[in-house]
């Protein structure tokens, strides 16, 4: 029996904080089909993160809840994945990574600002920086779309533009959706990260002996990699 | 300010609406060097993707390949030996110094000073020499491997690194003095491009830009990875004015970050397990551990990493072609992709002449923006 | 000391002789004086033009080499050393790879150079980084012909007129700029005997012509049909106009102090009154310097051509020789500015301490000349074992130097100052430049004018200045300069807490010098 002074390690505080989020999620979103669990990174330092599987029509509400009540103030990335061979209810997937940074504007003291310095060893509960991963599945459709969270995080704005531009998932309610990485005159409906578009050698079907694929030895006819 | 422009730090367009000399509206236009890295990597082995990630941000190549490697190790569930982590930290921090020197070397001619350009590149030569010893080339190193690093510290590296870093710490004072004590520089960069941390974080801006706003958020201590919690370092934070962080604060933060990175390297050289003078041969379990090659379907891995410009993230989904040897999807989060729209918004209300001062102080690198 | 280099007298004698012997012997002998004048003026104009154009190469050389030293880069000449010196003790025998044994003489030369100049540098570990030493080479290859090569390049490059540009004005603009710039040198006397034109009000003419070039700049910027150049042209017009006024007021103060609007008389005043105007009007000298740097559009007043946002500013669309001429005009204007500063404030073509030496050693031309040459021979023969013998050599050399050489030296030193300023400062933003010009320089120039009035009317009694007047003024100026140079506003700087200072490890109030602890 080890007598503990009640001081926990950082990892334990983080686990606690993650568990608190899960508990709050279960309480708040009971019955909507939302699943939340604590997962751990599988290499390096075992950092817990919150994984939420969000039903499609609740995304904006969950986003607002995460932002204003769980404190996820930073939208790191919103991206989309195309699963043509996946399960029927998940042909498209939107994955949003959020972070709780707890960044506040430095307070004013006598005409100057006071720096906000936080010591990582003593943070607990709501102060612990937390990673969130939210996964939204979209069933099979030609025009996948989810709600836009542009007004919750400004950082979602360009992420959603990129997701639509490259993957083809539309975001309802998103103002000023435009091509952001591809040229402006790309044909409508062309979204390169969908699985039906292949780049050369995507499946490594044939064997060539130069990188450009122009030359091929006779002896390699019919061979595949 | 179109794609062909000497000082936009990369290939992108900034459409500026001006009223006389005042900027009224800006629209950034990216995508000129969109190379489709995410799509390409869907058909590459995990080890082959490292080279692509070096080229994402060519000024800061090591940080990007390490960012990818940590995410890949999360996906493939690999344990990395501690010595390798130290070597990685040394490589990443040296790269951070080199990247910030490149930034300073490009920022000063933007404002007009050509001397600091050459001085910063002179210091950068030293860092590039060290990185060449580690990685083999001066810019794109392909240095980390899944499970460790490619090679151990070369023989004599510790001595050279210590000498060069000490010389660098002396020399950076000169450049700092040239800039800090020049009223012209202060007049050009202070009061220009105010930005507040909460707004920045909401927009997705992280890294030195937020630390210039007075908040000490750094991914290296918030979501710790590698051996950063065993090294003796401080987060560089500025104390901005009430209106927010201006270009001068962002400049000061990066200069101090350079110093911190230099101290981190020295500290890592002291604390590395096995000693900095021993050299383990390639493939030794001290520096690399055996890693799986396949990631089955259903597995995901991601990692937030403190890049020179902010928080970069790789999200990888397993189960791709070749029965799992390729990732199904790899998604790259670039800090600059969200900083450039924010910086463009920051410019509104200032003069045309302030555009390079503001844009340069946010340190854009279009390679990672466009992927 | 008399000026033995009396070019004008020679020219007029020569042309008089020519005229007398040609026209004088014909029936048009009444016009022989006119012909003599025409020939004289032609000779003088060509002479002045040749001197200026020849010595501008020195200016460009100063700019390149000095700039490179400040920026701590070796440049091509010094980097030649890397061909035979290795790095870290390793040599790469690249010459052995050349075919047909062509590398053997290079290998011999390599060995010779290694033995003479050394084969390694001082630092083992950081040897690739300059340490600002000479690294063994004591000579600098001239690099003077670099600009000749540049000129040839400009002549062969393509120039084009943008399709929608205003063709006439586009082509007139460089013409305006370069001709007005070259015309400036007509009025700048290079010594009391070498000048091209010397009207009574030469200063007035000079300043008027100096101010035509901004018009050409604006034409160039506007007619190129390019938003960038328009911005550059507007900025340039605003900046140059703003700085013309303090410039003119400062020049007026010099003229008031010296009692004449003729440049030669200004210099004669400085020589005869025993003190350079620099010591009497230090504020005026500083103002003249700043306004001239702004007028010739050098950094820190570089906004019209700011590379960062305007690509090349108002001359973006020009190529080939058009641009080459405008680029030359920029350096010609800088040269004119340096020459004018030397003429107005540094005593022109007078040797420093000239009249002190004259007073000490009378009749020294021939005596000192011969003594000096003898001493030079002696010293060289004795291989400089007696350095004390060398001391009078510069003195003697200086006494036989024609005064024009003094003027040129002073202007070159001043140009080195211009280059130093350029290397150290950043560009100031246009509205800050304009604010600085109108709100600070103009009142200061008026104050300076007042000082000049007071000096001329009250403090000067004709003849020479009593020694304490320039001495006192200079002392006051130095004290003010030192006070202004100390970091002002330390309380504001202290308030900005610097991040955890690396060397002290503590958070504390900091100034930019905190890293020195």
Quick check: B14 pLDDT over 60? yes
Say what the pLDDT of residue B185 is: 84
Residue at A183 is within a domain: yes
pLDDT classification of C515: cutoffs 50, 70, 90: very low
Quick check: C498 pLDDT over 60? no
Share of chain C above pLDDT 70, in %: 71
Residue at A223 is within a domain: no
Say what the pLDDT of residue B96 is: 93
Euclidean distance between CA atoms B215 and B206, whole angstroms: 11
- Distance from the Cα of C211 to chain B's closest Cα (Å) equals 25
- Taking the domains of chain C in order of start, what are their residue ranges? 7-146, 150-351+401-481, 356-400, 487-517
Q: Which subunits count as partners of chain A given 3+ CB pairs below 8 Å?
A: B
Quick check: B214 pLDDT over 70? yes
Quick check: C172 pLDDT over 70? yes
C516 and B173 within 8 Å at the Cβ level: the answer is yes
Share of chain C above pLDDT 90, in %: 9
3-state SS, residue B29: strand
Quick check: B26 pLDDT over 70? yes
Say what the pLDDT of residue B97 is: 93
Tell whether B289 lies on the interface with C, counting CB pairs under 8 A. Answer: no
Say what the pLDDT of residue A35 is: 85
Q: Which residues of B touch A76 (CB under 8 A)?
A: 204, 304, 311, 313, 333
* C42-62 average pLDDT score: 88
Say what the pLDDT of residue C173 is: 86
Say what the pLDDT of residue B322 is: 63
Quick check: C484 pLDDT over 60? yes
Residue at A174 is within a domain: yes
Q: Which residues of B touch A154 (CB under 8 A)?
A: 199, 202-204, 342
Q: Is pLDDT larger for residue C91 or for residue C513?
A: C91
Say what the pLDDT of residue C310 is: 58
Per DSSP, B244 falls in state B
* C507-514 average pLDDT score: 31
Quick check: C137 pLDDT over 50? no
Give how far the C-alpha of residue C323 lies from the chain's centroid of Cα atoms, to the nearest Å.
Answer: 21
Say what the pLDDT of residue B99 is: 93
Quick check: C117 pLDDT over 70? no
Tell whether B19 lies on the interface with C, counting CB pairs under 8 A. Answer: no
Quick check: C501 pLDDT over 50? no
Alpha helices by DSSP H, listed for B136-236, are 157-180, 183-189, 197-203, 208-211, 219-222
pLDDT classification of C495: cutoffs 50, 70, 90: very low
* A10-23 average pLDDT score: 82
C427 and B180 within 8 Å at the Cβ level: the answer is no
Q: Which residues of A touch B238 (CB under 8 A)?
A: 115
> Which CATH number does the domain housing residue A179 bear?
3.30.460.80
pLDDT tens profile B109-147: 888 788 888 888 888 888 888 898 888 888 888 888 888
Say what the pLDDT of residue A207 is: 52
pLDDT classification of C304: cutoffs 50, 70, 90: confident
Residue at A27 is within a domain: yes
Residue at A212 is within a domain: no
Quick check: C320 pLDDT over 90? no
Quick check: C499 pLDDT over 70? no
Quick check: C361 pLDDT over 70? no
Mean pLDDT (chain C) is 75
Tell whether A162 lies on the interface with B, counting CB pairs under 8 A. Answer: yes
Tell whether B13 lies on the interface with C, counting CB pairs under 8 A. Answer: no
Quick check: A57 pLDDT over 80? yes
pLDDT tens profile B227-250: 888 888 888 887 777 777 888 888
Residue at A220 is within a domain: no
Domain B29-370, classified CATH 1.10.645.10, yes or no: yes
| Signed CA dihedral, B220, B221, B224, B230: sign only | positive
* A52-81 average pLDDT score: 88
Quick check: B328 pLDDT over 90? no
A105 → closest Cβ in B198, B303, B331: B198
Quick check: B94 pLDDT over 90? yes
pLDDT classification of C516: cutoffs 50, 70, 90: very low
Q: Which subunits count as partners of chain B given 3+ CB pairs below 8 Å?
A: A, C
- For residue A135, give its domain range: 10-189
Ranking B4-13, B266-275, C488-497 by mean pLDDT, the lowest is C488-497
The ipTM of this complex is 0.85
pLDDT classification of C508: cutoffs 50, 70, 90: very low
B114 and C311 within 8 Å at the Cβ level: the answer is no
| Signed CA dihedral, C161, C166, C167, C169: sign only | negative
Tell whether A3 lies on the interface with B, counting CB pairs under 8 A. Answer: no
Other CB atoms within 10 Å distance of the CB of residue C2: 7
Q: Using omega within 30 degrees of 0 as the cis cutoff, is the peptide bond preceding C300 cis?
A: yes
pLDDT tens profile C292-301: 988 888 877 8
pLDDT tens profile A172-189: 888 888 888 888 888 888
pTM for this prediction: 0.84
Q: Which residues of A touch B206 (CB under 8 A)?
A: 74, 101
What would the two tokens of residue C427 be?
């560009």
Going by C-beta distance under 8 Å and a sequence separation of 6 or more, which residues neighbour residue B131?
B62, B91, B94, B95, B98, B138, B141
Say what the pLDDT of residue A118 is: 78
Say what the pLDDT of residue C509 is: 32
Mutate which: B22, B106, B115, B265, vs C, most C CBs within 10 A:
B115
Number of domains in chain A: 1
Q: How many CA atoms lie within 13 A of B116 on its CB side?
A: 29
Tell whether A122 lies on the interface with B, counting CB pairs under 8 A. Answer: no
Residue at A88 is within a domain: yes
Cβ under 8 Å to B: A residues 49-78:
73-77
pLDDT tens profile B257-296: 999 899 989 999 988 888 778 888 877 777 788 888 887 7
Going by C-beta distance under 8 Å and a sequence separation of 6 or more, which residues neighbour residue B111?
B185, B188, B189, B356, B357, B360, C308, C426, C427
Give how far the C-alpha of residue C225 lies from the chain's centroid of Cα atoms, to the nearest Å.
Answer: 34
């Amino acid at each position: 029996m080890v007598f503990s002074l009640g001081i926990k390690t950082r990892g334990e505080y983080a686990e606690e904080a993650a568990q608190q989020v899960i508990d709050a999620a279960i309480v708040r979103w009971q019955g909507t089909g939302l699943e939340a669990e604590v997962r751990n990174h599988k290499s390096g330092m075992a950092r817990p993160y919150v994984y939420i599987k969000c039903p499609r029509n609740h995304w904006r509400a969950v986003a607002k809840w995460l932002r204003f009540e769980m404190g996820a103030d930073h939208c790191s990335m919103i991206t989309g994945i195309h699963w043509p061979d996946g399960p029927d209810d998940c042909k498209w997937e939107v994955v949003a990574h959020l972070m709780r940074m707890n960044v506040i504007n430095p307070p004013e003291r006598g005409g100057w600002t006071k720096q906000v310095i936080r010591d990582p060893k003593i943070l607990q509960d709501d102060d612990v920086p937390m990673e969130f991963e939210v996964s939204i599945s979209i069933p099979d459709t030609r025009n996948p779309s989810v709600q836009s969270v542009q007004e919750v995080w400004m950082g979602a704005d360009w992420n959603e533009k990129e997701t639509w531009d490259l993957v083809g998932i539309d975001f309802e309610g998103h103002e000023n959706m435009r091509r952001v990485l591809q040229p402006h005159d790309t044909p409508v409906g062309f979204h390169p990260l969908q699985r039906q578009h292949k780049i050369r050698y995507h499946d490594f079907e044939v064997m060539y002996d130069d990188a450009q694929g122009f030359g091929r030895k006779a002896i390699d006819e019919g061979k595949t990699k | 300010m179109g794609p062909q422009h000497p000082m936009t730090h990369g290939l992108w367009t900034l459409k500026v609406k001006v009223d006389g000399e005042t900027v009224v509206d800006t629209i950034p236009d990216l995508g000129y060097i969109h190379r489709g890295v995410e799509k390409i990597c869907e058909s590459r082995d995990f080890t082959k993707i490292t080279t692509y990630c070096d080229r994402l941000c060519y000024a800061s190549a090591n940080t990007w390949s390490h960012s990818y490697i940590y995410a890949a190790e999360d996906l493939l569930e690999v344990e990395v030996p501690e010595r390798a982590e130290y070597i990685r930290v040394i490589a990443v921090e040296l790269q951070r110094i080199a990247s910030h020197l490149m930034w300073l070397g490009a920022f000063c001619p933007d404002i007009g000073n050509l001397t600091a350009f050459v001085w910063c590149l002179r210091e950068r030569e030293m860092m590039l020499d060290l990185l060449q010893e580690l990685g083999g080339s001066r810019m794109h190193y392909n240095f980390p491997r899944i499970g460790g690093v490619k090679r151990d510290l070369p023989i004599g590296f510790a001595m050279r690194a210590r000498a060069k870093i000490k010389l660098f710490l002396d020399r950076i004072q000169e450049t700092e003095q040239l800039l800090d004590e020049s009223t012209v520089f202060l007049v050009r960069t202070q009061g220009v491009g105010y930005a507040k941390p909460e707004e920045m974080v909401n927009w997705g801006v992280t890294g030195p830009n937020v630390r210039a706003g007075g908040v000490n958020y750094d991914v290296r201590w918030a979501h710790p990875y590698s051996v950063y919690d065993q090294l003796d370092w401080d987060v560089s934070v500025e104390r901005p004015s009430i209106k927010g962080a201006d270009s001068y604060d962002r400049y000061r933060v990066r200069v101090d970050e350079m110093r911190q990175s230099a101290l981190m390297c020295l500290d890592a050289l002291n604390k590395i397990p096995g000693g900095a003078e021993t050299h383990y041969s390639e493939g030794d379990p001290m520096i690399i551990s055996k890693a799986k090659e396949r990631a089955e379907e259903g597995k995901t891995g991601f990692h937030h990493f403190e890049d020179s410009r902010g928080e970069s993230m790789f999200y990888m989904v397993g189960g791709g072609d070749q029965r799992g040897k390729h990732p199904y999807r790899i998604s790259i989060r670039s800090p600059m992709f969200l900083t450039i729209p924010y910086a463009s918004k920051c410019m509104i209300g200032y003069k045309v002449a302030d555009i390079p001062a503001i844009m340069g102080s946010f340190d854009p690198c279009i390679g990672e923006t466009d992927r | 000391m008399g000026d033995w280099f009396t070019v004008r007298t020679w020219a007029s004698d020569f042309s008089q002789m020519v005229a007398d012997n040609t026209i004088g012997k014909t029936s048009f002998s009444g016009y022989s004086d006119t012909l003599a004048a025409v020939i004289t003026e032609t000779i003088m104009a060509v002479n002045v033009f040749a001197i200026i154009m020849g010595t501008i190469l020195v200016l460009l050389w100063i700019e390149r080499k000095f700039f490179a030293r400040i920026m701590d880069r070796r440049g091509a000449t010094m980097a030649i050393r890397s061909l035979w010196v290795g790095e870290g003790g390793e040599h790469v025998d690249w010459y052995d790879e050349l075919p047909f044994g062509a590398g053997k003489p290079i290998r011999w030369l390599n060995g010779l150079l290694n033995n003479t100049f050394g084969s390694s540098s001082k630092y083992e570990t950081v040897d690739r980084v300059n340490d600002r030493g000479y690294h063994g080479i004591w000579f600098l290859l001239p690099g003077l012909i670099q600009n000749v090569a540049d000129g040839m390049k400009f002549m062969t490059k393509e120039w084009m007129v943008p399709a929608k540009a205003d063709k006439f004005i586009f082509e007139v603009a460089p013409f305006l700029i370069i001709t007005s710039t070259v015309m400036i040198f007509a009025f700048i006397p290079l010594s009391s005997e070498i000048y091209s034109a010397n009207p009574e009000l030469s200063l007035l003419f000079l300043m008027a012509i100096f101010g035509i070039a901004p018009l050409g700049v604006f034409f160039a910027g506007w007619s190129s049909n390019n938003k960038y150049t328009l911005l550059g042209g507007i900025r340039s017009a605003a900046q140059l106009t703003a700085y013309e006024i303090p410039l003119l007021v400062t020049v007026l103060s010099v003229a008031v102090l010296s009692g004449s609007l003729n440049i030669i008389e200004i210099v004669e005043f400085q020589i005869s009154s025993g003190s350079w105007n620099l010591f009497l009007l230090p504020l005026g000298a500083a103002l003249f310097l700043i306004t001239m740097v702004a007028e010739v559009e050098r950094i820190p007043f570089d906004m019209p051509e700011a590379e960062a946002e305007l690509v090349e500013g108002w001359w973006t669309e020009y190529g080939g020789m058009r641009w080459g001429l405008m680029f030359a005009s920029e350096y010609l204007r800088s040269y004119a500015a340096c020459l004018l500063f030397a003429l107005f404030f540094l005593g022109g073509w007078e040797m420093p301490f000239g009249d002190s030496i004259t007073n000490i050693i009378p009749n020294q031309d021939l005596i000192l000349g011969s003594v000096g040459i003898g001493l030079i021979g002696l010293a060289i023969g004795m291989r400089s074992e007696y350095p004390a013998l060398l001391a009078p050599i510069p003195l003697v050399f200086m006494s036989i130097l024609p005064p024009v050489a003094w003027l040129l030296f002073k202007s070159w030193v001043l140009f080195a100052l211009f280059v130093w300023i350029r290397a150290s400062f950043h560009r100031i933003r246009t509205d800050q430049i304009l604010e600085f010009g109108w709100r600070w320089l103009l009142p200061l120039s008026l104050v300076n004018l007042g000082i000049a009035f007071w000096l001329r009317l009250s403090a000067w009694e004709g003849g020479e200045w009593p020694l304490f007047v320039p001495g006192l003024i200079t002392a006051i100026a130095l004290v003010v300069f030192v006070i202004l140079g100390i970091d002002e506003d330390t309380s504001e700087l202290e308030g900005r807490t610097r991040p955890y200072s690396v060397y002290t490890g503590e958070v504390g109030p900091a100034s930019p010098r905190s890293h020195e602890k």
